[in-house]
Amino acid sequence: MAAPDYTILSDFLTILGVRHTDSYTNRSFRSMPFPTMFGLKKLLATYGVESVGLKLADSDMIDRLPTPFIAQTSRGMVIVTAVDADTVMYVTQSVEETATKGRFSAAMTGNVFVAFADDNACEPDYAVHRFTEIANIAKKWVLAALAVALLGYAIVSNGIYRHISTVLLTIIDIAGVYISTLLVMKSAHIKSRHADAVCSVVQAGGCDDILATPASKFFGIFGWSEVGLAYFGVSLGCLLMFPDHIDDLALCNLICLPFSFWSVWYQKFKAKSWCTLCLCVQSLLWLSFFCYLGGSWLRQAFHPGTGFFVLGACYVAVMLAINAIMPLIDRNNDYVNSR
């Protein structure tokens, strides 16, 4: 979801060919008490990389320096990877760029930072850190594999596959969980490339505009994104584990439908902005309705029993749990983040 983590230190070590792990390297860089070149020099020394800062009398002399080296401009540091007669290739914020030598040297302050790495240069405890990094990647794959296996087991053992409407409902609920998760992440100010990509389909910045309105919260207490995640999450769980209660799910879906009219009305006439993710949620609600209708599940829904109320309690309990977690994950919550 988030962009790959990087710092100038991890970029520099990669270009120097020094064995390192991004997680340890970036953590070390960010935990420097004083983020200066002197701190970077000390950090590089722990990797077995010696370095020196030089003040050049003439910035045009950069072609005489061994690459890579770090060059200072008034807007920040860049890593120069190659210099020839006319061009300078450099890396800025992990992005490779090429500029004419004249333009590059004119923008420099004249301060450069040159490193000398030998073949033995390596991150301290590299093997342990690398193992941890691989284990962390493996954890995500194991989680994904187990989720798919459990989903497959539930579909087969509970006979979800026997009716097209239940198969479609499973897919819709999974899509609902995904879209609601993106909305929750946006509400918690967690940057997500996927959320931004979906949001820009109808109107760039529309999701942020809508989520910033007071109407994005139910009585200012629960975000609608949290309600959506609870709704689709519990619906999916119930459908997979207790498919006998599909009539209760159908009734809950029916009760939620008027919300979609209000949401679209609000976006069009009040906020005058379109939130693509919110529209996706409304569409999924209606698609679910047509599946319940097509599968004739609504016919049995109008005589709710205890199961319906237990299901309702599950929705509320999960929604409250998500609501309680939100302040802990909100990136704009300075009070919690400072602790």
Partner 1 sequence: MSTQDKIKKLLAGLPGAVEMTPLELNDMRFSGRKTVITPAELKRIKNALTARK
What dihedral do alpha carbons 203, 209, 213, 216 form, nearest 10°? 60
Q: Does 104 bind partner 1 (CB under 8 A)?
A: yes
Cβ 19 to partner 1, closest distance in Å? Answer: 20
Quick check: helix, strand or coil at residue 116? strand
CA dist 274 and 204 (Å) reads: 9
- Structural contact between residues 8 and 78, judged by C-beta atoms closer than 8 angstroms: no
Q: Is 199 exposed, middle or buried (0-12, 13-18, 19+ CB in 10 A)?
A: buried
**Nearest residue (CB) to partner 1, 69 versus 266:** 69
**Nearest residue (CB) to partner 1, 83 versus 246:** 83
Cβ 97 to partner 1, closest distance in Å? Answer: 6
**Nearest residue (CB) to partner 1, 95 versus 321:** 95
**Nearest residue (CB) to partner 1, 122 versus 287:** 122
**Nearest residue (CB) to partner 1, 18 versus 210:** 18
Q: Does 89 bind partner 1 (CB under 8 A)?
A: no
Considering only 47-55, 253-261, 269-277, 294-302, which stretch makes contact with partner 1 by CB under 8 A? 47-55
Closest CA to 77 of 44, 107, 116: 107
**Nearest residue (CB) to partner 1, 8 versus 207:** 8
CA dist 335 and 331 (Å) reads: 10
Considering only 53-61, 119-127, 268-276, 307-315, which stretch makes contact with partner 1 by CB under 8 A? 53-61
Q: Does 82 bind partner 1 (CB under 8 A)?
A: no
Closest CA to 169 of 268, 52, 249: 249
- For the chain, how many residues are written? 339
CA dist 279 and 300 (Å) reads: 29
Number of residues that bind partner 1 (CB under 8 A): 43
**Nearest residue (CB) to partner 1, 112 versus 185:** 112
**Nearest residue (CB) to partner 1, 96 versus 125:** 96
- Structural contact between residues 109 and 120, judged by C-beta atoms closer than 8 angstroms: no
Cβ 180 to partner 1, closest distance in Å? Answer: 29
What is the x/- site pattern for partner 1, positions 113-152, by CB under 8 A? xx-x------------------------------------
Closest CA to 86 of 102, 97, 107: 102
Q: Does 101 bind partner 1 (CB under 8 A)?
A: no
Among 1, 82, 95, 156, binds partner 1 (CB under 8 A): 95
What is the x/- site pattern for partner 1, positions 7-46, by CB under 8 A? -x-------------------------xxxxx-xx-----
CA dist 65 and 198 (Å) reads: 45
Placement of tokens 């008490």 in the chain: 33
Spatial CB neighbours of 254, under 8 Å, sequence gap ≥ 6: 289, 292, 298, 301
- Structural contact between residues 50 and 66, judged by C-beta atoms closer than 8 angstroms: no
Residue 102 has what DSSP assignment?
H
Q: Interface residues with partner 1 (CB under 8 A)?
A: 8, 34-38, 40-41, 50, 52-58, 61, 64-66, 72-78, 90, 92-93, 95, 97-100, 103-104, 106-107, 111, 113-114, 116
